Chains A and B, each alone.
Chain A
Amino acid sequence: MKIALVGNQNSGKTTLFNRLTGLNQKVGNWAGVTIEKKSGTLKGSQHEIVDTPGVYSLNAYTLEEQVTHSFIESNECEMIINIVDATSIERGLYLTTQLLEHNKKVVVALNMADIAAKRGTEIDCEKLSNSLGVSVVKISAYKNIGMKELLMAIENAEIRSEQFIDCIREAKDNEEVAVIRYDFIEKIVEESIKVKKTITITEKIDKVILNRWLALPIFAVIMFLVYFLSVGIVGGLTVDLVGGLFESAGAGLSNWLISIGASGWTVSLLVDGILAGVGAVLAFVPQLIILFLLITLLETTGYMSRIAFTFDILFKKLGLSGKSLIPFIIGIGCSVPAIMSTRTIENKDERIRTVVMTPFVPCSAKLPIIALFSGFFFGNNAGLVSASLYFFSIIVIIISALLMKKFVFKNSSGTFISELPDYKMPSFSYVLKEVWDKVFAFIKKAGTIILLSSVVIWFLLSFSIKFEYGVDIQDSMLALIGKGLSWLFYPMLGTFSWEATVSAIQGLVAKEQVVSSMAIIAGLGSDMTEGILGSGVFAFFTSASAYAFMVFNLFSSPCFGAIAAMKKELGSTRKLLLAVTFQTTLALILSYIVYGVGLLIGG
């Protein structure tokens, strides 16, 4: 039997889904975390549970509503677990009244019943169950309360047979239907629920967080902390530490391989190819742990919704929504989930603009590039320079938003519809799992795509076009490819460098691959004791071209993963091509300008 898990956004569907199936799905404390349906098997049974995106109704206006609606309508779905937030029952039951009309078995799960009880809300499940005609169970998915009762209700669920609310048939328009539904709900809520008015902790916290004078400083401090701890000094220290470990591992491996008599190309493939390429990326793991930990905390506590609420007025002026800020912040970690999270933006134009601009945020994979160049060229000012790139990306987002508003989407007026959820203490185990998942995905990428690309790069670098091994890298296949395209990069580098050219292009595979590729080229082509940028092949870099090169990598087309996510959200290949062309052209122009300005100030 297939069971659909249906409920409002932010009602705890995903938490319940994880409880019931044992899977670990993404949980957040802002509306719209689940964007596609996911399924898993109900623990201890054969039933399949399908987690659907959160919806407020089945009117099929939004994408999420369409996904949910068509699944419930299908013959596949035999039963519905309707999850209702016990702290806002009245609104939640609106969807329930619609679900009851689908001739499917329904069980209503009142989630967060513990929080509602703590606030003094008394819910009479039996009365509610009688009025609705289906079983109603109090649960707390987060605290694992009421699961046994819910499972029993699932086994004994029945289809409500009679027509649900009679007079709906006589309603003359949608508005009247909504009024009838809500009138019915008001009546049964009055009979079965007693609410006590209390000032919640959330209201007290909001007095500070959403205070006119404090909102902006608090946001600035939080974002600075995220930066300082992950990208800034603390994160930088961890990278140096792990990077050093890989370096000595490389030297050790090389010595050992030579001592056992391995052939020259084996040593080269393992040390200069694989270890250099993969190690350059893995050095960033501790930094990513910190970054993902902080972003997960922002997501689960409920602060994200406040940020959207606070900054909507500014984003409106840019033709965006306050909710655009959520993908931008998640984008500091990774563009892929960030692009997917744009689904919660109501207006289609605002959503498309946000999708196109999300990759402008320096994601964690771009960190290796930023760290490498700013560390080498700007010494004591490295922190300042890498911070400046974040501000650069903010300015570019503002300017391109204004450009798009003026030229591409002229007459659209957006809306902002957002719930303000209560603050929640994040669950320790969930946060750990979430961080582990993201970091593991990164490590997996290093072990698969980056490893493979590293081998390919090593191969293309070690062999000539006639497949002779051991040629000078100037005569390698990769050099040939790079030389053909290096004119594009001349205006930002001040020289023709096929090495930098091929590395930048590999940013398409994954942004961290840029650094991997540079490490392999430097290792094969020259002495690397002074680091990647100290080696002969990259000695041409000046601070001006270094900054310009960073700018190009920051704003050019994102990696394949993000491109796939963009295609899904934009909906057409044509729009995707337009977006990627826009991004790459902008990146080229900006990097040329940066280099020119850099030369003028004498960098």
Chain B
Amino acid sequence: MLISVNIQLTQDFRFDIMLIKVNIGEFMNIVHLSDLKKGQRAKVVSLYNDNAELKQRLLDMGIAKGVVIKVKKTAPFGDPVNIELRGYQLCLRKKDLSQIDIEVIE
């Protein structure tokens, strides 16, 4: 019980540090969802897409600020990418993933 509480705390602490890093480092430290490797998990910080329709679609599919996304696999020939969020599997092209800012969790 105690151990699990401990982990919780360190994780939160890590979040704070990362947030500070992103703020200080300005654009240098922003990571895009397309940079995430297979098996990694990340939290969405913001999504920007000049295509309003597409942005709305992504929001509707659950890619909103704060959601945790895991990269499951890439397609056999490298693109699109299969991500897992909110308990389901979604496939998106890397180009669109690159317009989603994230902070890596693990």
Task: List residues of chain A with CB under 8 Å of any chain B CB.
Answer: 56-57, 59, 61, 85, 87-91, 94, 174-175, 178-179, 182-183, 195, 206, 210-212, 215-216, 309-314, 316, 322, 346, 413, 415-421
Q: What residues on A are CB-neighbors of B73 within 8 Å? A: 206, 210
Chain B 90-106 interface 0/1 with A at a Cβ cutoff of 8 Å (1 = within): 11110110000000000
Given that A309-B80, A312-B80 are contacting pairs, would A57 and B60 also be in contact in the complex, using a CB cutoff of 8 Å?
Answer: yes
Write 30 A-B pairs (CB below 8 A) sorted by A numbering: A56-B57, A56-B61, A59-B56, A88-B86, A88-B88, A89-B87, A90-B87, A91-B86, A91-B87, A94-B60, A174-B56, A175-B55, A178-B60, A179-B66, A182-B67, A212-B77, A215-B76, A216-B76, A310-B76, A313-B75, A313-B78, A322-B80, A346-B54, A415-B93, A416-B91, A419-B88, A419-B90, A420-B82, A420-B91, A421-B89
Minimal Cβ-Cβ distance residue in A for B91: A418
Chain B 46-87 interface 0/1 with A at a Cβ cutoff of 8 Å (1 = within): 010001011111111110111100000101111110100011
Looking at the assembled complex, report how far the CB atom of A8 sits from the nearest CB atom of chain B, in whole angstroms. Answer: 9
Given that A313-B78, A416-B93, A420-B82 are contacting pairs, would A88 and B57 also be in contact in the complex, using a CB cutoff of 8 Å?
Answer: no
In angstroms, Cα B22 to Cα A397, docked, is 47
Contact B87 A313 (CB under 8 A): no
Q: Specify which of B57, B62, B65 is in contact with A91 (CB 8 Å cutoff).
A: B62
In angstroms, Cα B57 to Cα A61, docked, is 8
Q: Specify which of A87, A182, A312 is in contact with B87 (CB 8 Å cutoff).
A: A87
In angstroms, Cα B60 to Cα A419, docked, is 13
In angstroms, Cα B51 to Cα A351, docked, is 17
In angstroms, Cα B90 to Cα A98, docked, is 21
Contact B88 A91 (CB under 8 A): yes
Taking A90-B86, A175-B47, A419-B90 as known contacts, 16 extra A-B pairs with beta carbons closer than 8 A to each other, sorted by chain A number, are: A59-B56, A90-B88, A174-B59, A175-B65, A178-B59, A179-B64, A179-B66, A210-B75, A210-B76, A212-B77, A316-B79, A415-B54, A416-B92, A417-B57, A417-B96, A421-B89
Looking at the assembled complex, report how far the CB atom of A419 sits from the nearest CB atom of chain B, in whole angstroms. Answer: 6
Minimal Cβ-Cβ distance residue in A for B93: A416
Q: What residues on B are CB-neighbors of A89 within 8 Å? A: 87
Contact A313 B88 (CB under 8 A): no
In angstroms, Cα B82 to Cα A174, docked, is 25
Minimal Cβ-Cβ distance residue in B for A88: B88
Q: Specify which of B76, B87, B95 is in contact with A195 (CB 8 Å cutoff).
A: B87
Looking at the assembled complex, report how far the CB atom of A415 sits from the nearest CB atom of chain B, in whole angstroms. Answer: 6
Q: Specify which of B47, B56, B93 is in contact with A316 (CB 8 Å cutoff).
A: B93
Contact A182 B77 (CB under 8 A): no
In angstroms, Cα B66 to Cα A235, docked, is 55
In angstroms, Cα B82 to Cα A214, docked, is 18
Given that A57-B60, A88-B86, A420-B82 are contacting pairs, would A309 and B75 also be in contact in the complex, using a CB cutoff of 8 Å?
Answer: yes
Q: What residues on A are CB-neighbors of B95 within 8 Å? A: 413
In angstroms, Cα B84 to Cα A88, docked, is 11
In angstroms, Cα B19 to Cα A200, docked, is 35
In angstroms, Cα B86 to Cα A87, docked, is 10
In angstroms, Cα B55 to Cα A175, docked, is 9
Looking at the assembled complex, report how far the CB atom of A198 sits from the nearest CB atom of chain B, in whole angstroms. Answer: 12
Q: What residues on A are CB-neighbors of B53 within 8 Å? A: 61
Minimal Cβ-Cβ distance residue in B for A314: B77
Given that A59-B56, A346-B57 are contacting pairs, would A417 and B92 also be in contact in the complex, using a CB cutoff of 8 Å?
Answer: yes
Looking at the assembled complex, report how far the CB atom of B88 sits from the nearest CB atom of chain A, in whole angstroms. Answer: 4
Q: What residues on B are CB-neighbors of A211 within 8 Å? A: 76
Q: What residues on A are CB-neighbors of B86 within 8 Å? A: 88, 90-91, 182
Q: What residues on B are CB-neighbors of A314 within 8 Å? A: 77
In angstroms, Cα B89 to Cα A90, docked, is 12
In angstroms, Cα B73 to Cα A206, docked, is 10
In angstroms, Cα B77 to Cα A179, docked, is 33
In angstroms, Cα B80 to Cα A412, docked, is 18
Minimal Cβ-Cβ distance residue in B for A180: B64
In angstroms, Cα B68 to Cα A182, docked, is 12
Looking at the assembled complex, report how far the CB atom of A305 sits from the nearest CB atom of chain B, in whole angstroms. Answer: 8
Looking at the assembled complex, report how far the CB atom of B33 sits from the nearest CB atom of chain A, in whole angstroms. Answer: 14
Q: Specify which of A87, A178, A212, A346 is in contact with B76 (CB 8 Å cutoff).
A: A212
Q: What residues on B are CB-neighbors of A57 within 8 Å? A: 56, 60
Which 4 residue pairs are nearest across A and B when measured between Cβ atoms?
A: A88-B88, A215-B76, A57-B60, A90-B86
Minimal Cβ-Cβ distance residue in A for B78: A313
Q: What residues on B are CB-neighbors of A61 within 8 Å? A: 53, 56-57
Q: Specify which of B59, B60, B90 is in contact with A418 (CB 8 Å cutoff).
A: B90
Q: What residues on A are CB-neighbors of B91 within 8 Å? A: 309, 312, 416-420
With a 10 A CB-CB cut-off, give which of B59, B60, B67, B95 has the most chain A CB atoms.
B60
With a 10 A CB-CB cut-off, give which of B53, B67, B76, B88 has the most chain A CB atoms.
B76
With a 10 A CB-CB cut-off, give which of A314, A413, A416 has the most chain B CB atoms.
A416
Contact B90 A175 (CB under 8 A): no
In angstroms, Cα B80 to Cα A148, docked, is 42
Q: What residues on B are CB-neighbors of A85 within 8 Å? A: 88
Q: What residues on A are CB-neighbors of B92 within 8 Å? A: 415-417
In angstroms, Cα B73 to Cα A389, docked, is 35
Contact A175 B62 (CB under 8 A): no
In angstroms, Cα B90 to Cα A420, docked, is 6
Contact A420 B89 (CB under 8 A): yes
Contact A415 B96 (CB under 8 A): yes
Looking at the assembled complex, report how far the CB atom of B69 sits from the nearest CB atom of chain A, in whole angstroms. Answer: 13
Given that A59-B60, A88-B86, A175-B59 are contacting pairs, would A313 and B77 also be in contact in the complex, using a CB cutoff of 8 Å?
Answer: yes
In angstroms, Cα B55 to Cα A421, docked, is 22
With a 10 A CB-CB cut-off, give which of B47, B54, B64 has the most chain A CB atoms.
B64
Q: What residues on B are CB-neighbors of A419 within 8 Å? A: 88-91
